[in-house]
Amino acid sequence: MPLSQLEQELGIGRVDLLLLLRRLGIQPLRRGMRTLLTTEQAEQLANHVGSGASLETITAELVLDEPGQDNLPVPMGESWGEAARYAQLRLLRERLEILEALMRSGIELDSRQLCDLLDLRRLPAVQPLDDDAMGFIRMGLKFSRHQRPGQRSSWRIGRA
């Protein structure tokens, strides 16, 4: 039985219903976004509400903070800039480690994967490299294009 149906039948709100379930030790069933009770649990809940047992009211106090930068959940000012700079450096280091592993293992990438790894929208224009291959040099690494008949072109990474 869905909780919305119990709310209507018993005439109590969702919060009160959930608190009552917790007090009675009833564990509702969760299926996706729905919360359900078995018929036995619903009968137990209805008997408890029908017995005249009082429901405790819950009072809440709303506290308003003064607007300002001190109350923001994220740091502002110099410390925020340092955190963003550190995150960018860490990301760059991780990308360099991946590029180095690809270079050592000889694994070739397709153009889209290479763009993602280098954080580019499109690859730079290819130029002739010293070893009669076509490619480009970036971040101290040489990216050479390899084309095989019947396959897409792939990119091999090497030292510049």
**Euclidean distance between CA atoms 61 and 135, whole angstroms:** 66
What are the residue ranges of helices labelled H in the chain? 3-10, 14-24, 39-50, 78-105, 111-118
Give pLDDT, residue 9.
86
Give pLDDT, residue 86.
83
**What are the mean pLDDT values of the chain's consecutive 10-residue runs (160 residues total)?**
85 83 86 85 84 60 64 63 82 91 93 92 92 89 92 90
Q: What is the pTM of this model?
A: 0.48
Quick check: helix, strand or coil at residue 112?
helix
pLDDT in tens, 71-88: 555 666 666 777 778 888
Give pLDDT, residue 123.
92
